[in-house]
Amino acid sequence: MKFHLESAQVFVPDHLPVAEAMARTTHLALAAHQDDIEIMAYDGIIKCFQQEDLWFSGVVVTDGSGSPRDDVYKDYTDAEMRVVRFKEQFKAAVVGEYSAQVMLDYPSKAVKDGSDKRPVEDIVRILRATNPEVVYTHNLADKHDTHVGVTLKVIEAIRSLPKAERPSALYGCEVWRDLDWMVDADKVAFDCSAHENLQAALLGVFDSQIAGGKRYDLASMGRRRAHATYHASHATDLTTGISFAMDLTPLIVDVEKDVADYAQEMIRRFASDVAVRIGKLR
**pLDDT tens profile 122-166:** 999 999 999 999 999 999 999 999 999 999 999 999 999 999 999
- Cα 263 from Cα 146, distance rounded (Å): 17
The per-residue pLDDT for 212 is 76
**Angle at which helices 78-95 and 196-204 cross, to 10°:** 160
pLDDT for the residue 229:
94
pLDDT in tens, 8-18: 999 999 999 99
DSSP state of 141: T
Note the pLDDT of residue 1: 83
Q: How far apart are CA 125 and CA 1, in angstroms?
A: 8
- Domain boundaries defined on the chain: 9-281
Report pLDDT for 77: 93
3-state class percentages of the chain: helix first, strand second, coil last, to nearest 5 = 50, 15, 35
Q: Give the predicted TM-score (pTM) of the model.
A: 0.96
Distance of alpha carbon 153 from alpha carbon 248, whole angstroms: 13
Looking at residue 136, its pLDDT comes to 98
Q: 94-111: per-residue pLDDT in tens?
A: 999 999 999 999 999 999
* pLDDT tens column, 181-208: 999 999 999 999 999 999 999 999 999 9
Query: Bigger pLDDT: 225 or 65?
Result: 225
How far apart are alpha carbons 20 and 131 in whole angstroms?
A: 12
Quote the CA–CA distance of 140 and 248 in Å, as a whole number. 9
Q: Please, is 231 exposed, middle or buried when counting C-beta atoms within 10 Å of its C-beta (0-12, 13-18, 19+)? A: middle
**Are the C-beta atoms of residues 133 and 166 closer than 8 Å to each other?**
no
Considering only CA atoms, which of 136, 139, 131 is closest in space to residue 166? 131
If 0-12 CB within 10 Å is exposed, 13-18 middle and 19+ buried, where does residue 255 land?
A: middle
Phi, psi (degrees; rounded to nearest 5) at 75: -100, 10
Identify the pLDDT of residue 233. 74
| C-alpha span between 89 and 95 (Å, rounded) | 10
* Tens-digit pLDDT profile for residues 229-246: 999 876 777 899 999 999
pLDDT digits (tens, 9 = 90+) for 42-78: 999 999 999 999 999 999 999 988 887 888 998 899 9
Nearest alpha carbon to residue 99 among 192, 31, 10: 10
Q: Average pLDDT, whole number, for the chain?
A: 96
Domain spanning 9-281, CATH class = alpha beta
Residue 64's contacts (CB-CB under 8 Å, 6 or more residues apart) are 33, 34, 81, 82, 85, 86
How high is the pLDDT of residue 53? Answer: 97
pLDDT at residue 66, as a whole number: 84
Residue of 39, 8, 259, 249 whose CA lies nearest to 149: 259
Give me the percent of the chain exceeding a pLDDT of 70: 100
- The distance between the two most distant Cα atoms of the chain, rounded to a whole number of Å, is 65
**Torsion-angle region of 202 (φ positive above 0: left; ψ -120 to 50: alpha; else: beta):** alpha
Give tens-digit pLDDT for 164-184: 999 999 999 999 999 999 999
